[in-house]
A and B are shown apart, each in its own frame.
Chain A
Amino acid sequence: MKYLTEYRDPELVEEFIKEIHRITTKPWTLMEICGGQTHSLVKNGILDMLPDKITMVHGPGCPVCVTSVSVIDEAIYLAEQPNTIMCSFGDMLRVPGSKKSLLEAKAEGADVRILYSPLEAVQLAKQNPDKQVVFFAVGFETTAPANALSVVHADQMGLDNYSILASHVLVPPAMEAILSDEENLIDAFLAAGHVCTIMGIDEYHPVAEKYACPIVVTGFEPVDLLQGILMAVQQLEKGEYKVDNQYARSVQREGNRLAQDTIQKVFAVSDRVWRGIGNIPQSGYEVNDRYKNYNARIKFNIDLPLAEENKECISGDIMKGLKKPKQCPNFGTKCKPEHPLGAPMVSSEGACAAYYHYAAQE
């Protein structure tokens, strides 16, 4: 637990809290991008320790939450094909599609497997030459390199029974979509440390400039988050807007070049529909032409009607930071983890799930 306990030190936490209280003079609204950060804030009870003037709103950085209903439907369609093994991270299984979830498809007899790495799916394809193996490749820039690598491996091994259903999403276009929304309330961002570990921080400078919005690349532990908040408030109070790096123990300016090269080898930037938000141009990755034989959409000729979002779910407003989970009329009543109206209530990184599981009663 070394390198973790240091970042959960109650004394350090108290010092940061005091300093944030000391320097805050005006009301500020900060958005943490990543669902992992949201959960850490709520789970550790940090929200209640901050000054009243600081409002934390919870961003779209939950890959499960932003995956559109149509893509879930595609995954279920693939899972229900004969002789097909659909592989997914566990988190995706409970998310409702337009008719059912992958978990329900599994209960009805579809071969759905929970894996921990896409490379396991490649092994599964090798072991089952008479079956098609599809990996549900979701996630932000963080998970893209491993998913891309699985395609490279499968190609090197000459496997013609492996493909991926890619639904990758990218952080900077989502930040721009939020900032350019006319109802936007966000004064500063805590950017997602893991995403920046892969991509570096350079792509955030134009966003900070264009929208005059401080961006602090931040980690996930209590001390990280409080230091990130402090750095953002320091900029806001001084009227500055630049990109800062709180998570320097993991994030380098240029990111991880090898991982970026792997992404570029297999993926091309494409438009992507985000659940609750809609289409954001150039905000995702799709398998490129060179590897199109590994694109499950092409391989299986998927052509499903566009599915509609559940209108009762306000996940779009939640992920844009316009509303808090408890402001949703269905929170904890019609919408619970066991029968969710939308993904933010299901995913381990979803904001609604964080409030449902951890938030102290108000």
Chain B
Amino acid sequence: MADKIKMQLQCPMPKFDFDVITLGHGSGGLLTHRLLKSGVFDIFKNDLLDQQHDGAIFEMNGKMAFSSDSYVISPIFFPGGNIGDVAVNGTVNDLSMCGAKPQYLSLAFIIEEGFPMTAFWEILVSIKNAADKAGVQIVTGDTKVVEKGKGDQIYINTSGVGLINPKANIHHGNIQEGDVIIVSGNIATHGMAIMSLRQGLEFETNIVSDTANLNHTVQSLVDAFGTDIHFLRDPTRGGVASVLNEIAELTRLGFYLDQKLLPIEEQVEGACEMLGLDPLYVANEGLFIAIVNKEIADNFLTMLRKDINGANAAIIGEVTGDHAGKVMMKSRVGGKRMVNYLTGEQLPRIC
């Protein structure tokens, strides 16, 4: 909170001609120009953006990762962040999971006519803060405005590039029988923070989204453990279960989890219980799954737990030669069950 106040003092909202975004702000004409001039270019100021070219021109030497994601979340403001934080962290984290050091991002908005300028500014400030924290620059972008009713307030797309850490070799093909499955923190937190605000579901909790940039955390782990880190993935939509099912299918290996080892905050677990949702399928933001060589698992975990993003990290299971292509779990009471793909959206139950 203190950070946010400081930022707002540093970046007071400039005086815009309008209180809300209008169709004209996306027309490419004078209003677009003024909007960019008076706000956007100033807040994201950097040499590449200042070129004001059709695209950013820069040199990169080495093996690169390139990733893109669109953000259409509702509600756009939630405990622990807003769509702006998620739009930066999401792409930063996707690049990090490739073993890359994220460097440059593009930023594109699709805004619904009538969107309040104050909310737009708050999102811009969050984007700026998140980019600074991750050490990435916004170097190119776009703004489009759609008619009222043709969109849901604001959509953001970010794409990013980064150089691969030469010590990294992250690919599902490296996963082997005996590898250990590690999760970097409590699961299901972001999804339940969002769910707690959905219309008709408002329940009182202190659940705060775990949205965070993971690049610094992952880079230091890659520096320390190199190719013993076989695979990384951030389990956003679809949660931990979906990621593991995807890689089980790709590798034709078996993944065996132990339910009692899954780290989860008590009130998140309680909220899932109340709504009939399985936390294994609930979305996460500042979380990753690492599949590592058994030999380094303990040291990896020790180092990760000292990191700001890894205090609750835990070993949750192992890769086996049994039940090829499937994810199984030992239940808390000692039984065994399959953890399958989720079909469609998880819907709260009737009773």
Contacts and interface: CB of A to CB of B under 8 A. Distances in A.
A116 B332 contact: no
16 contacts: A1-B266, A1-B273, A45-B331, A89-B349, A90-B348, A93-B347, A116-B200, A116-B201, A116-B348, A138-B350, A139-B350, A142-B351, A194-B351, A348-B347, A357-B340, A358-B339
For the complex of A and B, list the 6 residue pairs with the smallest distance between their C-beta atoms, beginning with the closest: A45-B335, A90-B347, A337-B343, A13-B333, A358-B337, A44-B331
Given A115-B200, A337-B343, A348 B335 contact: no
Nearest to A63: B350
Given A44-B331, A356-B340, A361 B323 contact: yes
A349 B337 contact: no
B350 to A, nearest CB: 5
Interface in B293-351: 323, 326, 328, 330-340, 343-344, 347-351
A138 B351 CA distance: 10
B152 interface: no
Given A63-B351, A90-B347, A356-B340, A222 B273 contact: no
Contacts of B334: 10, 13-14, 45, 49
Nearest to B259: A44
Interface of B: 200-201, 266, 269-270, 273, 276, 323, 326, 328, 330-340, 343-344, 347-351
A265 interface: no
Contact of A361 (B332, B338, B347, B349): B338
A194 B350 CA distance: 12
Interface in A92-140: 92-94, 114-117, 120, 138-140
Interface of A: 1, 4, 8-10, 13-14, 36, 42-49, 63-64, 89-94, 114-117, 120, 138-140, 142-143, 194, 222, 336-338, 348-349, 356-361
A225 B343 CA distance: 27
B347 to A, nearest CB: 3
Given A1-B273, A357-B340, A358-B338, A46 B333 contact: yes
B200 A117 contact: yes
Given A90-B347, A93-B347, A138-B350, A1 B335 contact: no
Contacts, number: 98
Contact of B335 (A4, A49, A91, A139): A49
B173 to A, nearest CB: 25
A1 B269 contact: yes
Contacts of A64: 350
Given A4-B273, A63-B351, A139-B350, A10 B333 contact: yes
A139 B200 CA distance: 20
A193 to B, nearest CB: 11
A222 to B, nearest CB: 5
A322 to B, nearest CB: 25
A277 to B, nearest CB: 19
Given A49-B334, A91-B349, A359-B337, 7 more contacts: A10-B332, A45-B331, A45-B336, A91-B348, A93-B347, A114-B348, A139-B351
Contacts of B338: 357-361
A338 B333 contact: no
A181 to B, nearest CB: 26
Contacts of A114: 347-348
A10 B344 CA distance: 32
A6 to B, nearest CB: 12
Contacts of A4: 273
B350 A143 contact: yes
Contacts of B273: 1, 4
Nearest to A9: B333
Given A1-B266, A8-B332, A360 B337 contact: yes
A356 B276 CA distance: 18
Nearest to A142: B351
A13 B332 CA distance: 10
Contacts of A361: 323, 326, 338
A349 B351 CA distance: 10
A42, A120, A337, A357: most-surrounded residue (chain B CB, <10 A): A357
Contact of A94 (B201, B270, B336, B344): B344
A302 B270 CA distance: 42
B335 A120 contact: no
Contact of A45 (B269, B323, B337): B337
A360 B336 contact: yes
A46 B347 contact: no
A91 B347 contact: yes
B100 to A, nearest CB: 34
A44 B200 contact: no
A290 B333 CA distance: 50
Nearest to B350: A89
A360 B326 CA distance: 10
Nearest to A114: B347
B333, B338, B343, B349: most-surrounded residue (chain A CB, <10 A): B333
Contacts of B201: 116
B345 to A, nearest CB: 8
Contacts of B276: 348
Contacts of B270: 1
A250 to B, nearest CB: 13
A360 B328 contact: yes
Nearest to A88: B350
Contacts of A9: 333
Contacts of A338: 343-344
B205 to A, nearest CB: 13
A48 B336 contact: yes
